[in-house]
Structure 1
Amino acid sequence: MDPDRVPRVRDMRVRVLRATTSSRARGPLLCIGTVALIIAVILGAWVRPAPGTTDTPAAKSHALSVAWPSQGQASALVEGLGDSGDLGNKGPQEPVPIASITKVMTAYVILRDHPLRAGQRGPGITIDRTAADESFSGVESSVPVREGQRLSERQVLELMLIPSGNNIARMLARWDAGSQEAFVRKMNRAARDLGMRHTVYTGASGLEETTVSTSSDQLKLARRVMRDATFRSIVAKPSTTVPGVPGTIRNTNTLLGTAGVIGLKTGSSTPAGGALMWAATAPDGNGNDRLILGVVLHQHADTNPRQGSQAALSNSRALIEAVREWLSTITSGTG
Structure 2
Amino acid sequence: MKITLPAMLGVAAMVLAVLGAPALARGGKAGAHAVAKGARHIQVKPAARLKAKPGARLAKRKAAPGRTPAARHRAYSPQQAKMAALRSSAVLILDPAARQVLYQKNAGAVMPIASVTKLMTALVVIGAGQALDEVLTVSDADVDRLKYSSSRLRVGTRLARSTMLHIALMSSENRAASALGRHYPGGTPAFVRAMNAKARELGMQRTRFVEPTGLSSLNVSTPEDLARLVMAAQRQPLIRRYSTDPDHTIAQGRQATRYRNSNRLIASPGWRIGTQKTGYIAEAGRCMVLHARVQGRAVVMVFLDSHGKYSRASDANQVRSWLVRARR
- Aligned pairs, number: 263
After TM superposition, give the deviation of residue 186 of structure 1 in Å. 0.8
- Amino acid in the other structure paired with 1:105: M
Is 1:142–1:168's contact at 8 Å kept on the other side of the alignment? Answer: no
Which residue, 111, 126, 135 being the options, matches 1:111?
A: 126
**Aligned-partner Cα distance in 1 for 2:222–2:96:** 20
Pairwise CA RMSD of aligned residues? Answer: 3.3
Pair 1:136–1:203, CA change in 2 (3 A) = closer
Instruction: Give the TM-score of the pair, scaled to structure 2.
Output: 0.70
CA contact (8 A) 2:294 2:324 kept: yes
Q: Which amino acid aligns with 2:181?
A: A
- Note if 1:317 corresponds to 2:327: no
Matches of residues 1-335 of structure 1 in structure 2 within 5 Å? Answer: 52-53=67-68, 55=71, 67-68=83-84, 69-80=86-97, 82-83=98-99, 85-91=100-106, 93-114=108-129, 122-130=132-140, 134=143, 139-147=148-156, 149=158, 151-244=159-252, 246-258=256-268, 259-262=270-273, 263-283=275-295, 289-300=296-307, 307=308, 309-326=309-326, 328-329=327-328
1:185 counterpart letter in structure 2: R
Structure 1 residues 254 and 78: alpha-carbon distance in aligned structure 2, compared to 1, 3 A threshold: same
Q: Which runs of 5+ in 2 are unaligned?
A: 1-20, 23-58
d(CA) in 1 for partners of 2:140 and 2:286? Answer: 28
Distance 2:138 2:179 in 1: 7
CA shift in 2, pair 1:249/1:53, >3 Å: farther
| DSSP-derived class of the 1:205 partner | coil
Q: Per-residue displacement from partner, 1:267-290 (whole Å, max 9, x unpaired)?
A: 11111111001222222xxxxx22
Deviation at 1:260, TM superposition (A): 1.3
1:173 positional shift: 0.6
The CA deviation at 1:192 is 0.9
Secondary structure at the aligned position of 2:183 is classed as helix
The verdict on how the C-alpha distance between 1:152 and 1:94 changes in structure 2, with shifts beyond 3 A counting, is same
Structure 1's 229 and 57: CA in aligned 2 closer, same or farther, altered over 3 A? farther
SS at match of 2:310: helix
| In structure 1, distance between residues paired with 2:225 and 2:194 | 17
TM-superposed CA distance for 1:238, in Å, is: 1.2
Give the drift of 1:209. 0.8
Contact 1:253 1:266 in 2 (8 A): yes
**SS state of the match for residue 109, structure 2?**
coil
Q: Is the 8 A contact 1:238 1:251 kept in 2?
A: yes
Deviations along 1:27-73, one digit per CA (max 9) or x if unpaired, are xxxxxxxxxxxxxxxxxxxx999963495777789x66672525510
Q: TM-score, normalised by structure 1?
A: 0.69
Gaps of 5+ in 1: 1-15, 18-46, 116-120, 284-288, 301-306, 330-335
In structure 2, the CA distance between the partners of 1:173 and 1:318, relative to structure 1 (3 Å rule), is: same
Report if the CA contact (8 A) 2:114-2:217 is conserved. Answer: yes
Please tell me whether Structure 1 or Structure 2 has the larger radius of gyration of its CA atoms.
2
Q: Cα gap change, 1:209/1:138 in structure 2, threshold over 3 Å: closer, same or farther? A: closer
